[in-house]
Structure 1
């Protein structure tokens, strides 16, 4: 399989995972509990910053174009709706999660698996979840015409504990399955031999 085709396959797979996890929705406030940011952490962790960004960004772009990919809905009304601020920043969350995970895992041989998993969990919690509140909560306040304090109550406080659990799950999965991570930017062995000879 050529490198470019492999890129597209993995981007599409993690885009599909993101769509699937968005369909698991529990409404507790105006913002639903979903597994979307778990998919974002896994996309960034397994694909790296660049391709993680592409994978999640593709879904957001197609949703904005009208395809009903998130919660069975699509269109600009969803993108600029109350939860729009979260959706816009999701590709950035995948990018930052991938950037962080690559650096943690590059030094994994020098520390225990438990330490690596803990570092990944902390980073995923920050970059895969907390960052999304920077745009999500202010936009929620604007869209619902409520004070920022009320938006925090509706769009952040009920979810932080769930986000921590999802970050830990993503860290455990990535740490355990790192050997199976797709090597998207690495050339095949025969390519390296030809380039040396």
Structure 2
């Protein structure tokens, strides 16, 4: 049996703690950066007078979840939604309950959940991998479409019908979903390509769990 070499230093707990603290700080910085990206994407809109205007919000959500993972992706979007709810005009609107419970409120509520689930899928697809194979790429794209596109309509469209005096559910689907599907599909494809290319090279943003 080989005896341990006393001259070889044991791993330093203080070094591990410093590395973990560095990852937490890096994670907070990334949360702030992607929250800012989400805010900027909210101000890129077309047809601002429409019941549901075109924007890049879902694209920013896909990137946040795909690149940051479940926890930090969720917090980066939730932070903006929470601040908007208390009255800050961060999502190209007046802020406050009037915006969060307005015609687009159902979409807004689902945004943090969308980032969480995309991040959950991305975390598992990239676990132990330096890059995605073809099957992983397809699964990531399906996650983007399912959680970043279709899931947002699950609460968004019924709520639009609920608050509108002129739209029933079929009308809300016609106005608030069908026109957006082609553009949302393009966003999902673009987000998948960006996440697949960039996530393997991103520095770790969460402390590594170690066995005692």
Shorter-chain TM-score: what band?
0.7 to 0.9
Structure 2 counterpart of 1:157: 178
Deviations 1:35-59 (A, max 9, x none): 1111101111111111111110000
Tell me whether 1:89 sits opposite 2:114 in the alignment: no
Alpha-carbon separation, structure 2, partners of 1:119 and 1:143: 35
Q: Specify which of 27, 42, 46 is matched with residue 26 of structure 1.
A: 46
Shift of 1:179: 2.2
Shift of 1:73: 3.2
Which structure shows the higher helix fraction?
1
Tell me whether 1:68 sits opposite 2:97 in the alignment: no
Tell me whether 1:179 sits opposite 2:200 in the alignment: yes
Residues 70 and 183 of structure 1: CA distance in aligned 2, closer, same or farther (over 3 Å): same
Residues 185 and 50 of structure 1: CA distance in aligned 2, closer, same or farther (over 3 Å): same
Structure 1 counterpart of 2:126: 105
- SS of alignment partner, residue 134 of structure 1: helix
Tell me whether 1:16 sits opposite 2:61 in the alignment: no
Residues 155 and 179 of structure 1: CA distance in aligned 2, closer, same or farther (over 3 Å): same
Q: TM-score, normalised by structure 2?
A: 0.82
Contact 2:86–2:97 (Cα < 8 Å) also in 1: yes
Structure 2 counterpart of 1:134: 154
Alpha-carbon separation, structure 2, partners of 1:88 and 1:19: 15
Residues 14 and 110 of structure 1: CA distance in aligned 2, closer, same or farther (over 3 Å): closer
With 169-178 and 102-111 compared, the bigger mean Cα shift is at 102-111
Unaligned runs of 5+ in 1: none
Structure 2 counterpart of 1:54: 75
Unaligned runs of 5+ in 2: 1-20
Deviations 1:166-191 (A, max 9, x none): 0000100011112222412244xxxx
Q: TM-score, normalised by structure 1?
A: 0.88
| Alignment RMSD (CA, Å) | 2.3
- Count of aligned residue pairs for this structure pair: 190
Q: Specify which of 63, 66, 71 is matched with residue 42 of structure 1.
A: 63
With 100-109 and 36-45 compared, the bigger mean Cα shift is at 100-109
